[in-house]
Amino acid sequence: MNRGLTVSVVVVVLLLVVGYSATFFVHQAQNAVVVRFGKLVDIVENDPGLHWRVPFVDHVTYIDRRVINIDAPSFELLTSDQKFLVVSAYVRYRIVDTSKFYRAARDEQTAERRLVIALNETLRDKIGSVQMRDILSDKRAALMTEVTSVLKPAGDVFGIEVVDVRFKRVDLPQQNSEAVYNRMRTQRAQEATRIRSEGQAKAQEIKAEADRDRTVLLADTQQQAQILRGEGDAEATRIYNEAFARDPKFFDLYRSLQAMRTGLGGNNTTFVGTPKGDFFRFFEQDPDAPEPPKQ
């Protein structure tokens, strides 16, 4: 019983081993080439799944059929207006001709190395013929399309379709960056000065306006004040006239006496003179007294 079992197990295992050796699976995302003693005998393109081969003789190489990415190293390139740019691009490609790719490149590294060299040349060429302004503009997209189309023949050699080339980064080299920073700094300094000056100008304007307003206001007020005073004076004059007009003669007396009292009043006036006149009428002589004997 044990021997029968062992035999059947061995048979199953052998079948499995041979089965594996006679088949190969091609993944959904792959193509494959079958090589027998160095000779390409079969190509599996766009046909994933189970495939047959001669056991232990055929060698299968799988080749990716997806869109693959190359991150190219950064290049320092000179534009036509003599500006250095550090450009790093990436390339997207797809292996479209499996057998051509296998014969020409064998593996992706080889193809990619060549593509990067071609990319470098193309970029040097293209960027060298445009101005920096163009790279920083709408023309960038057109430039990349151009680079892509120039790169296509380089890919064709390997059965590769170059899908897309993109500038990941377009930067200035360190020392040029410094120059840009300097320019930005001076621009900002100008801006700051302008803002401050504008502030001062505005402030001065406000102050001047305030001073003007004050002067105008005070002058207007003085005007009003003088008018008021004039009104007062006029009214007073009218009142005086009305009163004094009753008897100009009496007014003369009354007002003269008043003026004398004010003008001569006080105790710092000295009267030097003869005691004569109306006031002194009785100073020397009593009118009712008997006439002194005449000498």
Partner 1 sequence: MAWNNQGGPWGGGGGQGGGQSPWSRGPGGGGQPPDFEEMLRRGQDRMKNLVPGGMGPGKVGALIAIVAVLLWAASGLYQVQPAERGVPLIFGKFTGVLTEPGLHWNWPGPIGSVLTPNVDAQNTVEIGFRSTGTSNTSFDDESLILTGDENIIQVEAVVQWYIDDVEKYLFAIRDPNESLSPDALKQDTVKNAAEAAIRETIGQSPFEVVITGEGREEVGKKAQALAQHILDTYNSGIKIERLSLQRSYAPQEVADAFRDVVRAGADAQSTVNDATAYKNQVTQQALGQASQIKNQAEGYRAEKIAVATGDAQRFVAVYDQYKQNPAITSRRLYLETLEQIMGNMNKVLIDTGQGGAVPYLPLDQLLRQQPPQPAPAQPPVTTPVPSASSGTGTTTSGSTN
In the range 264-293, which residues lie near partner 1 by CB under 8 A?
264-280, 284
Task: Choose, by CB under 8 A, the member of 138, 286, 288, 291 that binds partner 1.
Answer: 138
Task: Choose, by CB under 8 A, the member of 40, 48, 100, 161 that binds partner 1.
Answer: 48
Task: Choose, by CB under 8 A, the member of 76, 81, 121, 231 that binds partner 1.
Answer: 231
Tell me if 71 sits within 8 A of 116, measured CB to CB.
no
Minimum CB distance to partner 1, residue 103 (Å): 14
Name the residue nearer to partner 1 (CB basis): 153 or 260: 260
Task: Choose, by CB under 8 A, the member of 49, 73, 128, 173 that binds partner 1.
Answer: 49
Q: Taking CB under 8 A as the rule, does residue 52 contact partner 1?
A: no
The number of residues in the chain equals: 295
**Which one, of 65, 51, 151, 60, lies nearest residue 108 by Cα?**
65
Which segment (118-126, 130-138, 154-162) binds partner 1 by CB under 8 A?
130-138
Please name every residue paired with 32 in a beta bridge, in sequence order, or none if there are none.
Answer: 44, 62
Tell me if 205 sits within 8 A of 119, measured CB to CB.
no
Q: Taking CB under 8 A as the rule, does residue 73 contact partner 1?
A: no
Which segment (118-126, 151-159, 237-245) binds partner 1 by CB under 8 A?
237-245
Dihedrals φ, ψ of 76, to 5°?
-100, 120
Q: Taking CB under 8 A as the rule, does residue 26 contact partner 1?
A: yes
Q: Taking CB under 8 A as the rule, does residue 149 contact partner 1?
A: no
Q: ∠89-93-97 over CA atoms, to 5°?
A: 155
Tell me if 98 sits within 8 A of 145, measured CB to CB.
no
Distance of CA 136 to the CA centre of its chain: 18
Q: Taking CB under 8 A as the rule, does residue 36 contact partner 1?
A: no
How far apart, in whole angstroms, are the C-alpha atoms of residue 167 and residue 100? 28
**Which one, of 144, 158, 161, 131, lies nearest residue 66 by Cα?**
161
Minimum CB distance to partner 1, residue 295 (Å): 8
Name the residue nearer to partner 1 (CB basis): 248 or 288: 248
Name the residue nearer to partner 1 (CB basis): 37 or 279: 279
Q: Tell me the chain's radius of gyration from C-alpha atoms.
A: 60
Q: Which helix (H) or strand (E) holds 164?
A: strand 160-171
Q: Taking CB under 8 A as the rule, does residue 142 contact partner 1?
A: no
DSSP 1: -
Name the residue nearer to partner 1 (CB basis): 121 or 142: 142
Distance of CA 102 to the CA centre of its chain: 53
- Interface size with partner 1, residues (CB under 8 A): 138
- The structure tokens listed for 188 are 């900002």
Which segment (116-124, 128-136, 153-161) binds partner 1 by CB under 8 A?
128-136
Q: Taking CB under 8 A as the rule, does residue 253 contact partner 1?
A: yes
Q: Taking CB under 8 A as the rule, does residue 171 contact partner 1?
A: yes
Q: Taking CB under 8 A as the rule, does residue 129 contact partner 1?
A: no
Task: Choose, by CB under 8 A, the member of 36, 149, 168, 173 that binds partner 1.
Answer: 168
Neighbours of 197 (CB within 10 A): 10
